[in-house]
Structure 1
Amino acid sequence: MSATVVSGMRPTGRLHLGHYHGVLKNWLRLQEQHESFFFVADLHALTTHYEHPEGIRQSTWDLLVEWLAVGLDPEKATLFVQSWVPQHAELALLLGMLTPLSWLERVPTFKDQQEQLRDRDLATFGFLGYPALMSADILLYDAAWVPVGADQVAHLEICRELARRFNSLYGRSQEDSEALAAGLRALGKKGKQQYQRLLERFQQDGDGSAVTQARELLDSAASINEATRILLLANLEGKGRTILSEPQPLLTEAAKMPGLDGRKMSKSYGNAIALREEPETVRKKLLTMPTDPARVGRHDPGDPERCPVWPLHQIYSHETTRAWVQEGCRSAGIGCVECKSVLVDKVLEEQEPIRARAEDWAARPERLREIAAHGAEKARARAEQTLIRVREVMGLDAG
């Protein structure tokens, strides 16, 4: 079986062209190469939209429609809704039992989103604990790879740390546990305290230098043998029998899809073009884009590098068209409307088949529900295999 890939999207509104070029095109490649699980993260949507959940249900179906419209294939990838697989919530709760608060508080997006979403009350257990849910999403499927951009690798690290911590706590035999306790006693009171501080620095604070210092501490301890030294170091590093597989980041080239104002395309910036936006609206948005301030009049030369329209040409236009834009803009041989009109045609050409397929899928709600139900059934069967292992080592299989 090929390596497993897991990824998801929150249903917080219609997708735009940035999602298509930045995420979905990559998913289309992955479904051909790996066993892929792609889910609508409706539980995650509640971490920030719990007070106003009205749009989540419709956005869930809109998201599935648009995934199918761009070419995601339920015969090649498992497509499902997160809340339809209760194992996500169960594993998130169990991981929460062993997740240090300090780990949650140092996740990069925790303070960033609190700052950006000041109008919402995010002082909640769900918002603080969302990394445990994110980790459950991945660890349930023994994912080998998680597609992320270079700026998102830090978000995946807490999942990797939780897998190591879980395996460290529950991945040992009774004999190993007894040997570990004996080794700690052999270090003496002072040595044990040093070891515990180093363990906390590495496992809770992510301080890599603590591992080096622990090696030095254990190498200098004449009271323990080599086997005990290896066991103590493995314990500090969070290594044990693999119960939860530690995922690796699958770095993807970040497609910097520019918005209508030159910044990254984002709904929050109000500079986006929806994936299936009406043609006349797309045309109006593109034709009214700002351009190089130097081009006050039709015959004023400009510089494409200072124009928000140029980055879109770099994505949509062929080399000959880009050369035409460069020469025409700098010489004032073409006007801004001419430059934008070529771009309008290319964007609409890309959107037309997506819009048509989306209309077809949206007209078949029963088929959509069948796809979501079948995907959830496959996901539940796979996730339950992981939870059987988890429940057993956590003492929850008494029934």
Structure 2
Amino acid sequence: MLLADSQALTDNAHDPGKVRRSVVEIALDYLAVGIDPQKSTICVQSHLPALAELSMLYLNYVTMARLERNPTIKDEIRTRGFGHDVPAGFLCYPAAQAADITAFKATLVPVGADQAPLVEQTNEIVRRINGVAGKAILPEAQALIPPVGRLPGIDGKAKMSKSGGNAITLSAEPDAISAAVRAMYTDPNHLRVEDPGKVEGNVVFTYLDAFDKDRATLEDLKAQYRHGGLGDMKIKRRLEDILQALIAPIRARRAEFAGDRAHVLDILRQGTATARERTEATKREVVEGLGLFQL
């Protein structure tokens, strides 16, 4: 599990303190949801120099035009309002992510649907590296996308983002969860209970698709909503109950880990040391495979 603080600087260079603070906050999220550091290495990107070296190397195997065509990058540039002032680090993100993936020789990458083009571009770089080397140094990776490939923000705009103020955090208190669900975007044309409603694009139903385990009841609710006769508050109450039950134990575990910051930092140090060995080994393989000069 990579804490991508170097990547975060590509659109937060004006506030490095925020990036620094986020490292532990995201680590707490990982631990709270049940990531076991004995089974999954949790490491800090900026402390893995091989990733930066591989990123720079990979940039020689991708064109600027290809980076600009990447759908994920185009969408994020639009969302962040960069216009023509796109930070170079942000535009080069696909090469950096290729380094993040290939340095660990990952073959399966869990991502949201919006990140799939980045995995595809990683594989393009892998094929170029392997082609120049004349042998398979690096494996290609497959994107592992969940059934709900992207959670929108509670306002229905883009994806959920803490910085965008449209997210439900894993540390959210019950009142904050209630307020977020009440504010969720539904169908603006569903003005009365008896009106037919639209399920597609309805944020509440998107979240229910992701978290409601009672699929049969959920399908019945969708049919009722489409036909008319089901109010927004009823489906919002159902979603709130599900999210309250889901987040409560996560919130409690997170608070427990947060109470022992020294232990969390030890986990990050150990994980990063393990990851450093792995990534350095991959970098050496790539350098040797390409026949680059070595001392």
Q: TM-score, normalised by structure 2?
A: 0.82
- The 3 A distance-change label for structure 1 pair 128 and 152 is closer
Distance of 1:96 and 1:280 partners within structure 2: 47
Distance of 2:63 and 2:116 partners within structure 1: 20
Letter paired with 2:255: E
Per the TM alignment, residue 276 of structure 1 is displaced from its structure 2 partner at its CA by: 1.9
Matched, 1:250 2:146: no
Letter paired with 1:94: L
Distance of 1:118 and 1:292 partners within structure 2: 27
Runs of 5+ unmatched residues, structure 2: none
Q: 2:135 aligns with which of 228, 232, 241?
A: 241
- The 3 A distance-change label for structure 1 pair 94 and 149 is same
Per the TM alignment, residue 301 of structure 1 is displaced from its structure 2 partner at its CA by: 2.1
Matched, 1:133 2:96: yes
2:11 counterpart SS class = helix
Q: Which residue of 2 aligns with 1:390?
A: 286
Answer yes or no: is the 8 Å Cα contact 2:171–2:251 preserved in 1: yes
Distance of 2:280 and 2:41 partners within structure 1: 15
Distance of 1:397 and 1:80 partners within structure 2: 28
Distance of 1:62 and 1:350 partners within structure 2: 19
Matched, 1:260 2:154: yes
- The 3 A distance-change label for structure 1 pair 149 and 280 is closer
Distance of 2:6 and 2:265 partners within structure 1: 18
Q: Which residue of 2 aligns with 1:281?
A: 176
Q: Which of the two has higher C-alpha Rg?
A: 1
Per the TM alignment, residue 90 of structure 1 is displaced from its structure 2 partner at its CA by: 1.4
Per the TM alignment, residue 344 of structure 1 is displaced from its structure 2 partner at its CA by: 2.1
Superposition map of 1:102-117 within 5 A: 102-117=65-80
- The 3 A distance-change label for structure 1 pair 342 and 151 is closer
- The 3 A distance-change label for structure 1 pair 107 and 383 is same
1:132 counterpart SS class = helix
Per the TM alignment, residue 80 of structure 1 is displaced from its structure 2 partner at its CA by: 0.6
Deviations 1:97-116 (A, max 9, x none): 44433333332233333333
Matched, 1:156 2:119: yes
Answer yes or no: is the 8 Å Cα contact 1:325–1:339 preserved in 2: no
- Single out whichever of 320-329 and 261-270 deviates more from structure 2: 320-329
Distance of 1:153 and 1:290 partners within structure 2: 26
Q: Which residue of 1 aligns with 2:194?
A: 301
Letter paired with 1:396: F
Answer yes or no: is the 8 Å Cα contact 1:144–1:246 preserved in 2: yes
Letter paired with 1:88: L
Superposition map of 1:1-399 within 5 A: 38-118=1-81, 122-149=85-112, 151-169=114-132, 171=133, 240-243=134-137, 245-255=138-148, 256-257=150-151, 259-262=153-156, 265-267=159-161, 270-289=165-184, 300-303=193-196, 305=198, 308-314=203-209, 315-316=211-212, 318=214, 319-320=216-217, 323=220, 336-392=232-288, 393-398=290-295
Distance of 1:335 and 1:106 partners within structure 2: 42
1:49 counterpart SS class = coil
- The 3 A distance-change label for structure 1 pair 264 and 90 is closer
Distance of 2:12 and 2:154 partners within structure 1: 27
- The 3 A distance-change label for structure 1 pair 160 and 310 is closer
